[in-house]
Amino acid sequence: MSAVSEIMSPRDVIALKVASTPSALDAIKLMIKNKIGSVVVVDIDKKPIGIVTERDILKKAAALSKSPSDIAVQDIMSFPVVTIKAYDSIETAAAVMAKNKIKRLIVLEQDGSLAGVLSITDIARKLAKILAAEYSRYGYLKAVLDI
């Protein structure tokens, strides 16, 4: 099967620098502006240290009974971050997601730099293409079997 780098979203990774002490509202604005469901939180060296999703903000802001502008991203981000290498297989990525019960993985290049984010939706899209291709290839057998 394909490598993670072949199926992950082609968008640039949107990241928040923890050094600037961003709020949950800052994360929300970035997500809305870029039409994405998560932002990666990076340290001064641009190494990923966490991820904040729409769900994190909703659940944790409600639990804290605070406005998103009063909540620091560091207080609601998921960490330690779960990563995978860009050259790893989709099967490996799916197994890591299932094991950790997560829907997104941060993808790293071989040198450890940030390459992207792989979502469960990316994997589902790839599987749908494979199934459609298989159906096209073997669809004619249905007529034979129905005889």
Q: What is the pLDDT of residue 94?
A: 93
- For each successive 10 residues of the chain (147 residues), what is the average pLDDT? 81 85 93 93 91 91 87 92 94 95 93 91 86 73 64
Give Rg (Cα) of the chain.
Answer: 19
**What is the reported pTM?**
0.81
Q: What residue ranges in the chain does DSSP mark as E strands? A: 15-17, 38-42, 48-53, 83-85, 104-108, 114-119
Domains and CATH numbers, the chain: 4-145 (3.10.580.10)
Tokens found for residue 19: 């050094």
Q: What is the pLDDT of residue 108?
A: 93
Query: Which single residue is written with the structure tokens 């560091």?
Result: 74
Q: What is the pLDDT of residue 140?
A: 65
